[in-house]
Amino acid sequence: MSRVYLPIGTATATCGACSRMSEQRKPPVTTGQIFETDIVGLTLDGEGVGRFNGFTLFIEGALPGEKVRAEVVSVGKSFGKARLESVLVKSVHRRNPPCPIYDQCGGCQLQHLNYPGQLQWKRQYVVDSLVRIGKLPVAGEPQRAEAAADAAREPITVHPVIGMDDPWRYRNKAQVPIGESEGGLVGGFYEQGSHDIVDMNACLIQEEENEQTVRAVKGAAGSLGISAYNRATGRGLLRHVVVRHAATTGQRMVVLITNGLNIPHQDELIGLIREQVPGVVSIVQNINTERTAVVFGKDTRTLWGEDVIYDEIGGIRFAISARSFYQVNPVQTRRLYESAVRYAGLTGEETVVDAYCGIGTISLFLARHARQVYGVEIVPEAIEDARRNAALNGIHNVEFAVGAAERVLPRWQASGIRPDVIVVDPPRKGCDQVLIDSLLESRPSRIVYVSCNPSTLARDLRLLEDGGYRTVEVQPVDMFPHTVHVESVIWMVQK
Ligand SMILES: C[S@@+](CC[C@H](N)C(=O)[O-])C[C@H]1O[C@@H](n2cnc3c(N)ncnc32)[C@H](O)[C@@H]1O
């Protein structure tokens, strides 16, 4: 499969070389070969794209505009991978990655690209997806033939990405796999291509409170002889430690994900965590006995304290339980939700549907400006939180339902609910086709699409455009600095 690559701040480019090369019989490089190349783009995984004799090679750590020397490490039919040996001509966007374990960890992919360069690349990623996948016209971009067919329409405005003033230490949640070493329990990240866990005590995108909590829990569990789960054998107890910190209240939650119900020395463990973790108000156990990479199991119980922590965004207080989705970057979440409310264009008279509503965050932001809001979400605990959050904030014009949005929306429609505005904020895979159909049948005057994946977003926008909607504006927001991820809010109107 050819992979898209994007030069920083230049027009769309697709990997045509890959498809052309797949027709040739023998790649012109072999493993171990050293070569020099100009870097012409950056893949969606953050690898530099180079060419040797017309063959495409992806090189981790190389940046567009650079000339590099690299060693071929693998050769496929249509592209290969190479290891960066040296940078011969540096990009003006290159900087030294501040994190000492950047090369090993893999959690961030863009620390070697300075922040303005990251924001530029992320905007280009969104633009390129709209043009290439969605076949949509974007202002300032060369029109492609398919988009030009709709010559009468206004091109879409894609705004610059809203970045952070200080793009470090932003994550309010850490999810750490636990393993064992001679010195006790370790927790950090999986070594590439293995089940071994590399211990990590500092992560520059984590809030410091989370680091301190994880360190304390590892130390406490290790000192009590609690075993770590072994992914290869399926034995051992502690699989993951998940911690959350609510910056506005200072409250912290610890979730112990265990391979079984019984925790030896449970009371002592709780005592040590309470002693060593300032602000902890909730210690929760989640049981996952499946041999799976999925982190959470089905059963959750509160071991001590509350079953939720409280946080505040934009003057609204939220209760957040262990299993519920809650955006990880609170500073940018507010900007994201404000963009969604702006694009909803509410006057106080509207009926609004918030599909994929999580704990009701966007619903409650919208409810302050609408007549009535309906939120739907598939995780029952999240809907419990959503209802609790509405009550907590004295917001009464909102109703929540548990279920798949693609099932609940048609039911609401059949019962006579006629939304003026529909907001969707699906997971990375985007909207279900049934949901798109039901959205088109509802015919709201506006659709606001919040997306964390430009590719599925562009696919869904195409379907909505074909169904009678026009994309007006896109506001990308950088929720995950130093990673390849970008969030966008989209405003659509009826054609
Ligand atoms: C990207 S999150 C957005 C949540 C919320 N809007 C927020 O900003 O916190 C997507 C949410 O969709 C939920 N979800 C996934 N599939 C769903 C489906 N088929 N129907 C309804 N909700 C779903 C997930 O549990 C998750 O809470």
Q: Give the pLDDT score at 195.
A: 75
Atom of ligand 1 nearest to the CA of 379: 25
The binding site for S-adenosyl-L-methionine comprises 327, 356, 377, 425
What's the rounded mean pLDDT across residues 327-334?
97
pLDDT at 52 over 90: yes
360 lines ligand 1 (CB under 6 A): no
Q: Give the pLDDT score at 151.
A: 65
400 CA from centroid of ligand 1 (Å)? 13
258 CA from centroid of ligand 1 (Å)? 25
Domain 173-313 carries which CATH code?
Answer: 2.40.50.1070
pLDDT at 109 over 90: yes
Atom of ligand 1 nearest to the CA of 336: 8
Q: Give the pLDDT score at 145.
A: 66
Q: How far is CA 403 from CA 374, 406, 414, in A?
A: 13, 8, 16
* pLDDT band, very low/low/confident/very high, at 18 (cuts 50, 70, 90): very low
Instruction: Give CA–CA dist 128/479, Å, rounded.
Output: 19
pLDDT at 21 over 50: no
Q: Residue of the nearest CA to atom 27 in ligand 1?
A: 358
385 lines ligand 1 (CB under 6 A): no
Q: Give the pLDDT score at 419.
A: 98
What's the rounded mean pLDDT across residues 117-136?
96
What's the rounded mean pLDDT across residues 160-174?
98
379 lines ligand 1 (CB under 6 A): yes
What's the rounded mean pLDDT across residues 136-158?
82
pLDDT at 194 over 80: no
Q: Give the pLDDT score at 397.
A: 98
CA 285 to chain centroid, in Å, comes to 25
pLDDT at 17 over 90: no
* pLDDT band, very low/low/confident/very high, at 5 (cuts 50, 70, 90): low
Lowest mean pLDDT among 6-20, 97-111, 138-152, 391-405: 6-20
487 lines ligand 1 (CB under 6 A): no
Q: Give the pLDDT score at 183.
A: 73
DSSP string, 50-68: EEETTEEEEEET--TT-EE
pLDDT at 24 over 70: no
435 CA from centroid of ligand 1 (Å)? 13
Residue of 177, 168, 194 lying closest to 99 (CA atoms): 168
423 lines ligand 1 (CB under 6 A): no
Q: Which DSSP state fits 284?
A: E
How many C-beta neighbours within 10 Å does residue 467 have?
15
Q: Residue of the nearest CA to atom 26 in ligand 1?
A: 358
Q: Give the pLDDT score at 412.
A: 96
494 CA from centroid of ligand 1 (Å)? 25
Torsion 82-483-67-140 (CA) sign:
positive
Lowest mean pLDDT among 6-20, 114-128, 345-359: 6-20
Three-class SS state of 76: coil
Atom of ligand 1 nearest to the CA of 359: 9
* pLDDT band, very low/low/confident/very high, at 10 (cuts 50, 70, 90): very low
CA 395 to chain centroid, in Å, comes to 29
pLDDT at 20 over 60: no
Question: pLDDT over 90 for what percent of the chain?
Answer: 85
What's the rounded mean pLDDT across residues 419-444?
97
322 CA from centroid of ligand 1 (Å)? 15
Q: Give the pLDDT score at 4.
A: 59
What's the rounded mean pLDDT across residues 171-189?
91
Torsion 198-215-289-229 (CA) sign:
positive
pLDDT at 465 over 50: yes
Supply angle C-alpha 100, 104, 108, rounded to 5.
80
DSSP string, 399-445: EEEES-HHHHHHHHHHTT---SEEEE---TT---HHHHHHHHHH--S
What's the rounded mean pLDDT across residues 291-314?
96
| 92 token code pair | 């003006």
Q: Give the pLDDT score at 104.
A: 86
Domain ranges of the chain: 5-94, 157-161+329-494, 173-313
Atom of ligand 1 nearest to the CA of 376: 21
CATH topology for 5-94 is OB fold (Dihydrolipoamide Acetyltransferase, E2P) (2.40.50)
Our mutation pick for probing the ligand 1 site, out of 377, 384, 423, 487, counting the most ligand atoms within 8 A of Cβ, is 377
Q: pLDDT digits over 218-245, tens only? A: 999 999 999 999 988 999 999 999 999 9
Q: What CATH superfamily classification does 157-161+329-494 receive?
A: Vaccinia Virus protein VP39 (3.40.50.150)
Q: Which DSSP state fits 174?
A: E
| 470 token code pair | 């026009």
Q: Give the pLDDT score at 192.
A: 67
Active-site amino acid positions: 452
| Single pTM value for the model | 0.92
What's the rounded mean pLDDT across residues 322-332?
95
Q: Do domains 5-94 and 173-313 have the same CATH topology?
A: yes
327 lines ligand 1 (CB under 6 A): yes
- Of 143 and 253, the structure prediction assigns the larger pLDDT to 253
Question: pLDDT over 70 for what percent of the chain?
Answer: 94
Q: Give the pLDDT score at 467.
A: 97
DSSP string, 21-45: HHHSSS-S--TT-EEEEEEEEEETT
19 CA from centroid of ligand 1 (Å)? 36
Q: Give the pLDDT score at 144.
A: 72
382 lines ligand 1 (CB under 6 A): yes
Lowest mean pLDDT among 22-36, 78-92, 286-300: 22-36
The binding site comprises 327, 356, 377, 425
Mean pLDDT of the chain: 93
62 lines ligand 1 (CB under 6 A): no
Lowest mean pLDDT among 9-18, 36-45, 126-135, 388-397: 9-18
